[in-house]
Amino acid sequence: MSDADADAALHDALECVVRRNPGQVLFRQAVHEVLESLAPVVKQHPEYVEGGILKRIIEPERVISFRVPWVDDSGAIQVQRGFRIQFSSDLGPYKGGLRFHKSVDEDTLKFLGFEQIFKNSLTGLGLGGAKGGSDFDPHGKSEKEVMRFCQSFMAELAHHIGADLDVPAGDIGVGGREIGYLYGQYRKVTGRNEAGVITGKGIGYGGSWARTEATGYGLVYFVREMLRESDISLEGSRVVVSGSGNVALYAAKKAAQLGATVVACSDSQGYVIDEDGLDLDLLSEIKDVRRERLSAYADVRGNCTYFEGRSVWDVECDIALPCATQNELDGDAARALAENGCRVIAEGANMPCTEEAIQVIHDKGILFGPAKAANAGGVATSGLEMRQNAGRLQWDFERVDSELDRIMTDIHATTAATADEYGMPGDLAAGANIAGFRRVADAMLAQGVI
């Protein structure tokens, strides 16, 4: 196919997303980022255009939207919106997390569901792509309110999921506590003990060892692979992490285990800098157990500084790991990191770097680990949890962790080799998009127009 025809097909697909999804800027950003890398593939494989792959892959198979009524502790009735975006089942059952955050809307979940297709493809575990959630904000809610909300949410979602159909997991605002309530309600509604219907479960009722740690640990295994042929080492490096939730905490723990000093982390209110290295057990206690704000860490720890409302990307570091949320690292933040000597940025969160930031990172020669590859460890380990559930087995921590390490090493090798193959050595973002896309596109061609 000629360059012009390939560019026209990609342009048409993006134009279709803009026209059909007015105001959905995150979804459009995510699609643009993928399509932009696909020109060399489409030129070599005109069958993808002839088979309508570009037109089909940008349209979710199904968008489910529902009312979630619940009663708060004062007896007042609240109504939230619930969603499940079943984007693609070409490689296997729909798979992707649930997000509970006040910002959740159809746009957010379509962007996340679209990204999930390619990430899940990269794991090689036979998983389709999906995402779901609600605009419910768990912050400040009592334990009972969280439980009642989860039960109402699952009362509807249960009609749309299943171990061979669609398998949700956690994401922002959905951790072990919420997964427990969601799974309990699924059993109640369906009358079935179907452990493989949801991942991230507790160890005592069908969960997998190392699932809690997986996204953060996997991110650092990926970074270790990125650094293998460079003069940078995790050992002795200064690391800054954004967020202080599940991904941030376990990325920090693994980086510290491998010899780095993690000097700063953040939440939505501010950041803390601790030059001696963060006390990660204390951080875990404050965020996971006490469910307090990050400022409480500084109060308890002492000898460190908390900055309200300021950007964690102003902190000097060798390696930056954005692990909070989308578009949290913009062009100015990328410039600040570069000026302060940062040499590696790897995405633990989904789409944390804006398009401008990625351009700056590229121009400044900073090594870049894209989310689709670098944070795939969570869903990969969810895939391992599904396998254990199907066999009614429970592997030990070391086995799951070593499988995770192997999968992350393979994903890095595949993305790097694909970038080389298409003439973009070192461009792991392009490598991840192309490798993830090709596996799905081939499956779509093989299965016909459905």
Using CB under 6 A as the binding rule, whether residue 349 contacts ligand NDP is answered as yes
Nearer to ligand NDP, 57 or 283 (CB): 283
The binder of ligand NDP chosen from 51, 92, 207, 378 (CB under 6 A)? 378
H or E stretch at 99 = strand 94-100
Which range touches ligand NDP (CB under 6 A), out of 11-19, 81-89, 172-180, 400-408?
172-180
Among 88, 120, 215, 415, binds ligand NDP (CB under 6 A): 215
172 binds ligand NDP (CB under 6 A): yes
Per CB under 6 A, does 436 bind ligand NDP? no
In whole angstroms, how close is the CB of 209 to ligand NDP at the nearest point? 15
Which is nearer to ligand NDP, 206 or 243 (by Cβ)? 243
Q: Does 96 bind ligand NDP (CB under 6 A)?
A: no
Contact pattern for ligand NDP over residues 262 through 291, marking x by CB under 6 A: -----xxx----------------------
Strand partners, 367: 344
Site for ligand NDP in 309-348 (CB under 6 A): 323-325, 328, 348
Sequence-ordered list of residues with C-beta below 8 angstroms from that of 220, at least 6 positions apart, any chain: 234, 251, 254, 255, 258
Nearer to ligand NDP, 92 or 173 (CB): 173
Closest residue to bound ligand NDP by CB: 245
**Beta partners for residue 322, in sequence order:** 242
Structure tokens at 43: 């030129």
- Bridge partners of 239? 262, 319
| Both structure tokens of 51 | 């088979």
**Nearest partner of 223 among 329, 320, 355, 341, judged by Cα:** 320
Smallest separation (angstroms) from ligand NDP to the CB of 136:
13
- Is 427 a binder of ligand NDP (CB under 6 A)? no
Compute how many other C-beta atoms are within 10 angstroms of the C-beta atom of residue 231.
Answer: 6
170 near ligand NDP, judged by CB under 6 A: yes
Q: Nearer Cβ to ligand NDP, position 93 or 173?
A: 173
Bridge partners, 289 (sequence order): none
Q: How far is CA 391 from CA 165, 339, 373, in A?
A: 17, 52, 27
Active site residue 131: yes
According to DSSP, residue 196 is labeled G
- The token pair that represents 42 in the structure block: 């489409």
The CA distance from 152 to 147, in Å, is 9
Which of 89, 199, 208, 350 touches ligand NDP by CB under 6 A? 350
328/401 with CB nearer ligand NDP = 328
Spatial CA neighbour of 418 closest among 13, 37, 164: 37
Whether the Cβ atoms of residue 349 and residue 112 lie closer than 8 Å to each other: no
Is 51 among the residues that bind ligand NDP (CB under 6 A)?
A: no
| Interface pattern 174-203 for ligand NDP (x via CB under 6 A) | -x----------------------------
Instruction: Please report how close the Cβ of residue 308 comes to ligand NDP at its closest, in angstroms.
Output: 12
Cβ distance 87 to 129 under 8 Å? Answer: yes
What are the φ and ψ backbone dihedral angles of 87, each rounded to 5 degrees?
-80, -50
375 binds ligand NDP (CB under 6 A): yes
- Candidate list 95, 110, 119, 131, residue with the active-site label: 131
| The only residue of 33, 145, 171, 405 in contact with ligand NDP, by rule CB under 6 A | 171
- Map residues 238-267 to x or -, x wherever contact with ligand NDP holds by CB under 6 A: -----xxxxxx------------------x
For 121-216, where are the E strands, in sequence order? 129-134, 166-169
**Which residues are bridge partners to 84 per DSSP?**
64, 132
Element (H, E) at 165: none
- Least distance in Å: CB of 190 to ligand NDP? 25
Write the DSSP assignment of 2-58 as a string of letters.
Answer: -HHHHHHHHHHHHHHHHHHSTT-HHHHHHHHHHHTT-HHHHHH-HHHHHTTHHHHHT
Distances (CA, A) of 12 to 24, 47, 54: 17, 16, 9
- Closest approach of ligand NDP to the CB of residue 311, in Å: 10
Among 51, 60, 113, 173, binds ligand NDP (CB under 6 A): 173
Closest to 351 in 3D by CA, of 328, 326, 333, 332:
326
> With respect to ligand NDP, which residue has the nearer C-beta, 103 or 190?
103
- Shortest distance in whole angstroms from residue 102 CB to ligand NDP: 9
Residues marked active site are found at 131
Q: What is the contact surface with ligand NDP in residues (CB under 6 A)?
A: 170-173, 175, 215, 243-248, 267-269, 323-325, 328, 348-350, 375, 378
